[in-house]
Structure 1
Amino acid sequence: MRSSNIITITGAGSARTPALVGSLVKLKERFPLKKVIFYDIDSERTSKMEDYIRLVLKTYSPETEVVFTIDPDTAYENTDFVFCQMRVGKNEMRSLDEKIPLKYDLVGQETCGPGGFSYGMRSLGAMIEMVNQVRKHSKDTWILNYTNPAAIVALGLDKVFPEDKRILNLCDQPYSLMRSFAKILGVEQSILRATYFGLNHFGWFTELKGTDGKDYYETLKTYLRDYDFKPYNAEQRSKSWLDTYLRVNKYMNFFDEYIPTTYLQYYFFSEEIVSESDPNYTRADEAKDSREKEVWEICSKAVGTDSVDDIEIITNSVFGDLMVELAESIAYDLHNEFILMSRNNDIIPNFSKDAIVEVSGTVGKNGANPYKYGDIKPFYKGLMEGQHAYELLTVEAFLEKDYTKALQALTLNRTVVNPEKAKAVLDDLMEANKDYWYLS
């Protein structure tokens, strides 16, 4: 029988938390839980879901102790894993990240372009503080970080904590795409093994094979040339998300060598995306009016009841499943395969050694074991070098409070390019974020 674990969920006020709890319950035989600590500085948000979470865990995992806290010492003093999913500035700042760039006909997106820069600057400070708080109590606790924008956060943490081998940064986007690929191919996701390279939200699938001995890559590419690409849960997605997947088809009309991540749409088709965007109603509003509203309504049904009979249990979360599966692979040294973020070194020999690249690999008790990929071709290398320079300058701008480096970063970003627009949007974002970051 596997030993039980203590985990802390940092950023527990996220509307994603009930779905994460669903994954914990679904996978509890594989990853048994002694205690779950729900930590957030915003007790108002956690209070909206506390009754629901306590009821679900009492019903399906009664052996698990449940703690809610706003105290970091309580959260981190005795925990095996920290599942971190912070959104610094909450939905209000996300809304500004998306709307301010659109004033200048620039992509308004929470992890890419100027919005991603702004969000990254907020996340870096909070994440550095969080790691220091955890390490005050233990050097052995695993920090599994899902806080966005993951590329900037991962690079920043690597610069500040270069010797800390128990921080793993993860993203569910490649995992989600693999789930969509599996549905298209009519196979179980668990049998698929991908070869992938890139930066987070900036990469390509180059092989897709099955543990059944079959090569699925050309079949998938043929499908994406001939049919609309849809996410595995298309019926639950808004039009903006469906358009995101369709742009994979569009990208492959130009470059069909590899299958791209969906986020490359923002860098290749930015003008089109801006023209379709509503500057008064962005995905932040969409999320608040759909997913978040639905979560709060479900959670409210748990107030004053001791039965889950009439309550929908939120499950099938790609994000939650990935978090738990990764922790499981570490806790029991399984060496299961994931698409991982890791310092490059010689994974891609002809690329910047200090970059945080995203490639396939395994995870065990000592952390990530990324597979060596090999040299990449000039087209992809050129794209990635520019994106890495943007990420590096963003991190340096934050650490050094350097306005010029921030301006250089935004000018390098493929969604901006124009230094006049870069300066205008930077100044607006800096004013909006003055309570979180400011540059000299």
Structure 2
Amino acid sequence: MHARDHRSIENWLIGNDGEIFGAATLDALCRRLIAAGVPVSRASIGLLAMHPETFASNLLWHRENGSETVTRSHAIATSDVYLKSPVYIIHQGVDSIRRRLDIENPQLDFPLLTELLAEGATDYVAMPLRFRNGQINYISWVSDRAGGFSTANLALLYGLLPAIALRAELYSAYELSHDLMNTYIGRRAADRVLSGTFRRAMGERIEAALLLCDLRGFTAMSERLPMEEVIETLDDYFDCMARPVAQNGGEILKFIGDGMLAMFPRDDASQTLGAPCRATASALAALEELDALNRRRAENDKSPLKTGIALHTGTVFFGNVGAAHRLDFTAIGPAVNAVARIGALCPRLERPILASGRFAAQCRAFRMQSVGSHVLRGIREPEELFAPHGAQVSSSIS
């Protein structure tokens, strides 16, 4: 029975049946194990991540509640929840951990075991999932049957480890590639690159609203402060600028020193507001976040940060640009040049936000007021510029 069950489940794991190994696949695996006589009541797979906000991704399964995916932040790596857990020991290279919980004086050397015992668990087993790159992840099994897992049950679970590790590694690689691409080039660009847009000059023309922000006084600050404090300040500033962009469906194209360029495509069917209105909402929210940050900085006797935000709309080429062996997926075109020129006027006009006339005409959800016509560097005809009502002159500009 064991050999037949092993072959059946292993063939299913390494075959093409089912999706990439996720929570649904863990659910199907546990149901197959139960059908094979393995008394699994709970299971967990932990996969280490390479993400600025995520330490690991956990696939969790419960016999009554089904499966789910939970992400763990980097804070957990220094917490007792992790450091006093069987998972930490597995990550250190231990082959496996088994604890019988239905015996007299069970070994409750991890807080998790006390919790499981209180819930009626009788057996706990944690095993390493070893990837070919040397990374050690884990899978754990819990039983609530009297007597726990039998020797045959454990033999089946151990025998399936290589196949489970293979499927989990494919899933991890898939998630890793998407996470890294999303982190470094943005979701929209990542989707295009991973779907085949990876050659030079490949791309598309997109109608979009553009947002460019610039941290004022950065050069003087970087010469005055230790580099570590400069980096920390930049991170805080970019959090203020980037968070509203993401919340309003925008795409951050790149960070340029102390500046950030983002776009809001007009063809985004998932958004109810038009692209210029979403860009304006992002700019106003960014100023509010920066003001809140400056209040916190003042409490620590730090000088306020000042910014200027430019808004424009137009057609951009969104795709690959660069050398044959080193490409950048970005947006270029006259509209990008124009938004940079508009941003350069923020300090002179003492406005935290400036928008082009074309942008203002398309942004009907916000009241715009003219601040006059001005010559943009490199552009012959003067451009009438506008400021959204509510973006008052404050400590957020220089």
Task: Judge same fold: TM > 0.5, yes or no.
Answer: no
Structure with max Cα Rg: 2
Could you say which structure has the higher strand fraction? Answer: 2
Provide the TM-score with structure 2 as the length reference. Answer: 0.28
More helix by share: 1
